[in-house]
Amino acid sequence: MSDYAIGLVGWGTVGGGVLNILQQDGTLLKERCNLNVRLKAIVTRNPDRARDQKPGSAVVGSDLALITDDPEIKTVLHLVGGTTAAKDIAIACLRAGKHVVTANKALLAEHWDELFAVAKETGHTIAFEAAVAGGIPVIAALRDGLVANDIRGIYSILNGTCNYILSRMTQDGMGYDEALGLAKDLGYAESDPTLDVNGTDTAHKLAILAQIAFNTNVPFCAVHIEGIENISADDIESAQRLDSTIKLLGVAKRCPAGVELRVAPTLVPNSNPLAHVNANYNAVRIMANNAGPTLLVGQGAGALPTASAVLSDLIDIAVGSYQRTAEYFRFFAGGEPSTILPEEDEFTASYARFRVKDEPGVLAQMTATLSKHGVSLRAVHQGEPDADSTAEIEVTTHPTRGGAFLSAVKEIDQAGITVQPTVCLRRLDEG
Ligand code: HSE
């Protein structure tokens, strides 16, 4: 059995999970992989952590040289957050001749080209299964299991906090703030949940997935991002009336003119399995030309699920199978960014809720405006008028150019027939 020495940078939640798995399931790994994974050094800003968890035979310190100067260490588990020091650490490890396994999606999404350029130059690799959807082996599925497929689209739920909030609002009628408070208490949300609820965390993960799925360079800054902060109880009720469920979806779709890449709260018809992925679960639905639609569901965060993904990368690297596809990932370094379609050119189905004056001709004027902009209606529903002589009209559309739909809604709002700004949401139509 060969010995494989590794280093760990960052002894937080996921680092602790890695230690737990190595201590509890090390024998299983040895038997399966004929490999003795030996954690030789831990670099942490908080050496007191050793009071909570035994580091085994690993030496613990705060100096990265403990790892970079040790020629025996072949791979570094890079489990630090942020994008500044984290980038320097990853690059220092690559330059010291180590492979790097990271769970840091923000780092990858924002500095992909630079990191992979260094990986290419040094002949080492960066693995990142843990950066997208925690314990779900989605990167492995894309680079291995689905390698013989042209990937047409990805529809995903990639943030457990948002999924938890929306699930509690939908299933229990809970308010947004209360559900967010519970997500924090349960440890799903980050200490500052802004990046969770505003869609940025989902966008980081989506950009990484799209790079791998479409074999192209996808700049993170081009993702269109809307969060769930403004989703109201009325939106949730409307979705339920339409036999749909609101999910924060990350969508990456290849079209003849480019790539659609967006994160947005979306009405998912209940006939789609994504509508039934609840609580803090993540899910990735991959539309593959040969395998067909494939749905992966699981825990997208947490110490053990994320550590499970970290260790799968480590074993892949240690046995040499990751390097087989490493060139594929390096290919992107410095490549031309692919064309990301502007939001107005995206082709999506939509939902709108108008509050209108209950007067003759209002519905006719609305539908004439939608028709003028080329928007094809799928369904229209008007509720009973309220005491203030206004009524709610909800429409869903067939897939339409996004710009046409938004222009039509703007024109309707400006025509003086609506009494409050119209609510617009996407509606999932996998077409
Ligand atoms: N806070 C994230 C979530 C996990 O709620 O899914 C880390 O990306």
pLDDT at 330: 57
Task: Please name which of 42, 38, 41, 39 lies closest in space to residue 11, comparing C-alpha atoms.
Answer: 42
CA nearest ligand 1 atom 7, residue:
301
Asked whether 37 and 4 are in contact (CB, 8 A), the reply is: yes
How high is the pLDDT of residue 331? 60
192 pLDDT tier (thresholds 50, 70, 90): confident
Q: How far is the CA of 300 from the centre of ligand 1 (A)?
A: 7
Summarised one tens digit per residue, pLDDT across range 296-318 is 999 999 999 999 999 999 999 99
Percent of the residues in the chain that have a pLDDT greater than 70, as a whole number: 97
| First-residue to last-residue Cα distance in the chain | 51
Question: Residue 367 is encoded by which pair of tokens?
Answer: 């539908």
More confident residue, 331 or 32: 32
The identity of residue 106, as a single letter, is: A
> C-alpha angle 233/239/242, rounded to 5°?
145
Active-site option among 40, 74, 105, 205: 205
Q: For residue 323, what are the contacts with CB-CB under 8 A and spacing of at least 6?
A: 125, 317
Provide CB contacts within 8 A for 225, sequence distance 6+: 198, 199, 200, 202, 203, 262, 263, 264
pLDDT given at position 24: 95
pLDDT at 329 over 70: no
DSSP string, 358-377: --TTHHHHHHHHHHHTTPPE
Contacts 24+ apart (CB under 8 A), 92-95: 92/64, 92/68, 93/7, 93/9, 93/64, 93/67, 93/68, 94/118, 94/119, 94/122, 94/124, 94/126, 95/68, 95/122
What are 258's two structure tokens? Answer: 């480019």
Q: What does the pLDDT average to over 40-61?
A: 89
Domains of the chain: 2-131 (3.40.50.720), 144-299 (3.30.360.10), 344-427 (3.30.70.260)
**Ligand 1 centroid vs 190 CA: distance in angstroms?**
7
Q: Are 105 and 204 within 8 A, CB to CB?
A: yes
- pTM metric for this prediction: 0.94
Examine the pLDDT at 195 and tell me if it is beyond 60.
yes
Q: How far is the centre of ligand 1, averaged over its atoms, from the C-alpha of 37 (Å)?
A: 28
- The atom of ligand 1 lying closest to the CA of 161 is 5
Cβ 329 vs Cβ 47: under 8 Å: no
- Among the listed residues 63, 124, 129, 64, the one whose alpha carbon sits nearest the alpha carbon of residue 94: 124
Amino acid sitting at position 73: I
Residue 190 predicted with pLDDT over 90? no
Q: What is the pLDDT of residues 338-351, one digit of tens each?
A: 889 998 899 999 99
pLDDT of 141 above 80: yes
Q: Measuring from atom 2 of ligand 1, which residue has the nearest CA?
A: 159
Ligand 1 centroid, distance to 173 Cα (angstroms): 23
pLDDT at 36 (0 to 100):
93
What per-residue confidence (pLDDT) applies to 170?
Answer: 98
> Which atom from ligand 1 is nearest to the alpha carbon of 282?
6
Is the CA virtual torsion 278, 283, 288, 290 positive or negative?
A: negative
Please, are residues 307 and 285 in contact by the beta-carbon 8 Å criterion? no
**pLDDT tens sequence across 201-234:** 999 999 999 989 988 888 888 899 999 999 999 9
**In degrees to the nearest 10, what's the CA dihedral of 326, 327, 329, 330?**
120
Torsions phi, psi for 395 (to 5 deg):
-130, 145
pLDDT of residue 217: 83
Check: CB of residue 408 under 8 Å from CB of residue 373.
yes
Pair 229, 197: CB distance under 8 Å: yes
Asked if residues 222 and 213 have their Cβ atoms less than 8 Å apart, the reply is no
The residue-averaged pLDDT of 328-336 equals: 62
DSSP 3-state of 64: coil
pLDDT at 128 over 80: yes
Choose one of 105, 159, 200, 306 to mutate for the ligand 1 pocket test, by most ligand atoms within 8 angstroms of C-beta.
159
pLDDT at 405 over 80: yes
Question: Is residue 205 annotated as part of the catalytic site, yes or no?
Answer: yes
List residues near ligand 1 (CB under 6 A).
159-161, 188-190, 196, 201, 300-301
Q: Taking 80 as the threshold, does the pLDDT of residue 323 lie above it?
A: no
